[in-house]
């Protein structure tokens, strides 16, 4: 058990270390980077005029990479031989970290996709146990398996031009999922109305301020707000006041909130990276 | 307890009925209300309108039935704009829901059938389907779109010039003018990983309740514009069709019921507070008598 925990911690650390290094370490070895304007391109070397005016010849080898500056200022990696005179470049030996980013990204994309499969497996185990042990409302678990089977078969029809599978796909997505999904989310409107009616009471100055800005923003979002105030000067139109609240007051508050949240996220991320968290996988810190 | 104080104890079923009726009436009676076009909608419209002929717009349409009421209208008006002007676009669905491509297909096919029968799949637009990956996928798409998508949603290879002529001139972020991400809560990673690195303009279409977190990006010009809920779709429709009788998008259809629904909630909150203060006044009078 301790070996497994240590293995998980080691893999977690290495994965995080790669992304951290790939972010902070430049793609080209800094003290051997040549920056400047391309003067001449040949099959064996790139001649660059550096920013201090010096002309340098960089031999083309397998470990040499080049970054050309786009018109927007962002760098793009190009083959050294595809450079042209006049290009602004940074050229030199690679640190190899960025070379692997595509493969590492692909690995994590696959890992993320596996999480979907794990979710399905987990549901399978729970619902099959319900049916096997005839737990309360076990027939719901039978319906779950029937729905999964129908969904899988219907999914095969996506992208088809015609046929039974396409018709099944259209029925499942347009006539079942779409109205059911919309219905479930529509229920929120009634819950919110009831909750707002019961809980929004003007019990303090802060509550009055919150209620006032909520009314202005709610009315500013709908045409009725403009209809009510369009005869007033434009700064007093409800949509205009609503925009001020959202752009100025709200943005300031959200920026402060997110700044704090991101600092917390960095702290939590560091704890996960260094496996300092206690939780489902770790009985104690390593 | 006086009559007014009972206003704070209205049975919730009456509230549900009032809300349902207030949202239903505009569907039965045609009511037209003026639409105020917000700055974020106008700037998104102008950004899309400026798209050069040799570039495409990437639309990340990652929504499904749950947020259909808000997101359908937001993609519908933008697709309408692009199909009308002949702006080529590519649809993807990144990470959130595998049903995204199908809903986007439904919106586009309805527009093509009713308004733009001369627009062809593969020539004017391509749907690459769903992919997973968050910021990793965004990086891949920016560097080389074929690293993330080998085939489109119909199974044709991206190098198939016969079925997908549009894709023969789209390889990486240099060929993409702008990215428009529409979902309940668009991923902010588009901003640091694409806009921050390549300078590509990003626009969002989001649910109204999520929009408050994105206004700060518009102020800092990291987002070029945003459509906020049903209101954003109705405003964009107003820019596309100055004549109100020509507007048919879902956003325009839903903005009036939404207006009545909001009004019903505001009236309910006011009634609740009237009842609350009446009850408090009654309690104080009773306390004085004692």
Q: How many Cα neighbours within 13 Å face the side chain of A274?
A: 7
Cβ proximity of B223 and B242 under 8 Å = no
Residues of chain B predicted below pLDDT 70:
1, 286-290
Q: Do A194 and B106 touch (CB under 8 A)?
A: no
Cβ proximity of A93 and A58 under 8 Å = no
DSSP secondary structure code for residue A79 in this structure: -
Neighbours of A190 (CB within 10 A): 16
Give B279's contacts in chain A (Cβ within 8 Å).
none
B271 to chain A, minimum CA–CA distance in Å?
Answer: 8
Cβ proximity of B193 and A105 under 8 Å = no
Task: Select from B19, B211, B262 the Cβ nearest to the Cβ of A218.
Answer: B262
Cβ proximity of B236 and B38 under 8 Å = no
Give me the count of residues in chain B: 290
Give A194's contacts in chain B (Cβ within 8 Å).
12, 15-16
Strands B125-131 and B176-182: unpaired
Helix axis angle for B68-85 and B39-49, nearest 10°, is 40
Q: DSSP 3-state assignment of A191?
A: helix
Give B133's contacts in chain A (Cβ within 8 Å).
105, 108-109, 112
- pTM, 2 dp: 0.85
Which of B21, B136, B254 to mutate to test binding with chain A, by most A CBs within 10 Å of its CB?
A: B136
Residue A286 pLDDT > 60: no
Q: How does pLDDT run across B118-164, given as a tens digit for each residue?
A: 999 999 999 999 998 888 899 889 989 998 999 999 899 999 999 99
Give A177's contacts in chain B (Cβ within 8 Å).
64-65, 99
CA-based end-to-end distance of chain A: 12
B-proximal residues of A, 6-65, CB under 8 Å:
none
ipTM: 0.86
Whether A196 has its CB under 8 Å from any CB of chain B: the answer is yes
Q: Predicted confidence band at A5 (pLDDT cuts at 50, 70, 90)?
A: confident
Cβ proximity of A112 and B132 under 8 Å = yes
Using alpha carbons, list the distances in angstroms from residue B167 to A119, B91, B147, B172, B176.
35, 12, 14, 11, 11
Cβ proximity of B160 and B150 under 8 Å = no
Whether A146 has its CB under 8 Å from any CB of chain B: the answer is no
Q: What are the residue ranges spanned by the domains of chain A?
A: 26-96, 116-199, 205-273
Q: Compute the distance between CA of residue A269 and CA of residue A205 in angstroms, rounded to an integer.
A: 38
Residue of B nearest to A74 (CA): B198
Cβ proximity of A274 and A282 under 8 Å = no
* Mean pLDDT to the nearest integer, A78-102: 88
Q: Please, what sign has the CA dihedral across residues B149, B155, B159, B161?
A: negative
Q: Do B198 and A74 touch (CB under 8 A)?
A: yes
Q: How many Cα neighbours within 13 Å face the side chain of B205?
A: 33
Sheet holding A55-59, edge to edge: A55-59, A45-50, A34-41, A88-93, A64-69, A75-78
Q: Which residue has the tokens 């959200």?
A: A254
Nearest to residue B64, comparing CAs of B152, B181, B183, B208?
B183
Q: What is the per-residue pLDDT for B290?
A: 44
Q: Compute the distance between CA of residue A243 and CA of residue B41 in angstroms, rounded to an integer.
A: 12
A146 to chain B, minimum CA–CA distance in Å?
Answer: 19
Helices marked H in chain B? 12-28, 39-49, 68-85, 100-114, 134-143, 145-148, 190, 196-198, 215-219, 229-240, 250-289
Q: How does pLDDT run across B73-102, given as a tens digit for each residue?
A: 999 999 999 999 999 999 999 988 888 988
Task: Select from B20, B39, B255 the Cβ nearest to the Cβ of A243.
Answer: B39
Task: Select from A76, A102, A224 the Cβ nearest to the Cβ of B140.
Answer: A102
Q: Predicted confidence band at A134 (pLDDT cuts at 50, 70, 90)?
A: very high
Q: Do B212 and A179 touch (CB under 8 A)?
A: no
Give B156's contacts in chain A (Cβ within 8 Å).
none
Q: Please, what sign has the CA dihedral across residues A84, A88, A94, A100?
A: negative
CATH of the structural domain A26-96, one choice from 2.40.50, 3.40.30, 1.10.3470, 1.20.272 = 2.40.50
Q: Do A190 and B19 touch (CB under 8 A)?
A: yes
Residue A284 pLDDT > 70: no
Helices marked H in B241-249? none
């Amino acid at each position: 058990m301790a070996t497994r925990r240590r293995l998980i911690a080691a893999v977690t650390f290495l994965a995080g270390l790669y992304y951290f290094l790939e972010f902070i370490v430049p793609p080209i070895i800094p003290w051997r980077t040549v920056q400047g304007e391309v003067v001449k391109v040949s099959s064996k070397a790139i001649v660059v005029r550096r920013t201090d005016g010096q002309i340098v010849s960089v031999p083309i080898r397998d470990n040499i990479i080049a970054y050309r500056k786009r018109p927007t200022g962002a760098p793009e990696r190009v083959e050294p031989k595809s450079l042209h005179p006049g290009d602004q470049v940074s050229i030199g030996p690679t640190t190899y970290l960025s070379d692997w980013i595509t493969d590492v990204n692909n690995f994590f994309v696959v890992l993320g996709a596996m999480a979907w499969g794990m979710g399905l497996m987990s549901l399978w185990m729970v619902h099959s146990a319900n049916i096997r042990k005839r737990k309360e409302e076990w027939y719901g678990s039978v319906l779950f398996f029937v729905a999964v089977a129908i969904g899988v078969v219907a999914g095969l029809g996506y992208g088809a031009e015609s046929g039974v599978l396409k018709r099944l796909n259209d029925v499942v997505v347009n006539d079942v999922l779409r109205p059911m999904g919309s219905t479930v989310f529509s229920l929120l409107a009634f819950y919110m109305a009831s909750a707002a009616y019961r809980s929004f009471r003007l019990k303090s100055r802060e509550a009055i301020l919150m209620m006032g800005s909520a009314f202005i923003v709610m009315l500013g979002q709908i045409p009725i707000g403009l209809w009510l105030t369009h005869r007033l000067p434009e700064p007093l139109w409800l949509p205009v006041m609503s925009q001020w609240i959202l752009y100025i007051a709200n943005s300031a508050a959200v920026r402060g909130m997110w700044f704090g949240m991101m600092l917390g996220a960095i702290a939590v991320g560091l704890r996960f990276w260094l496996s300092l968290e206690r939780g489902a996988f770790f009985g104690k810190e390593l | 307890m006086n009559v007014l104080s009972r206003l704070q104890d209205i049975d919730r079923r009456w509230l549900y009925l009032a809300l349902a009726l207030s949202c239903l009436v505009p569907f039965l009676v045609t009511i037209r209300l003026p639409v105020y076009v917000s700055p974020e909608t106008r700037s998104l419209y102008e950004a899309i309108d400026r798209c050069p002929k040799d570039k495409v717009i990437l639309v990340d349409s990652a929504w499904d039935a749950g947020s259909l009421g808000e997101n359908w209208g937001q993609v519908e008006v933008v697709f309408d704009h692009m199909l009308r002007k002949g702006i080529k676009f590519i649809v993807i669905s990144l990470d959130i829901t595998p049903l995204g491509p199908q809903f986007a297909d439904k919106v586009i096919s309805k527009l093509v059938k009713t308004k733009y029968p001369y627009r062809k799949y593969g020539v004017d637009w391509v749907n690459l389907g769903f992919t997973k990956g968050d910021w990793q996928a965004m990086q891949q798409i920016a560097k080389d779109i074929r690293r993330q998508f080998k085939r489109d949603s119909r199974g044709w290879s991206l190098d198939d010039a016969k079925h997908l002529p549009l894709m023969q001139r789209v390889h990486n972020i240099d060929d993409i003018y702008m990215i428009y991400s529409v979902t309940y809560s668009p991923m902010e990673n588009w901003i640091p990983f694409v806009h921050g690195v390549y300078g590509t303009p990003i626009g969002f279409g989001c649910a109204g309740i999520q929009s408050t977190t994105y206004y700060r990006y518009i102020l800092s010009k990291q987002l070029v514009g945003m459509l906020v809920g049903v209101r954003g779709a109705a405003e964009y429709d107003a820019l596309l069709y100055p004549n109100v009788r020509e507007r048919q998008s879902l956003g325009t259809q839903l903005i009036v019921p939404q207006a009545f629904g909001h009004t019903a909630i505001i009236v309910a909150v006011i009634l609740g507070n009237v009842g609350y203060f009446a009850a408090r006044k009654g309690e104080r009078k009773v306390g004085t008598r004692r």
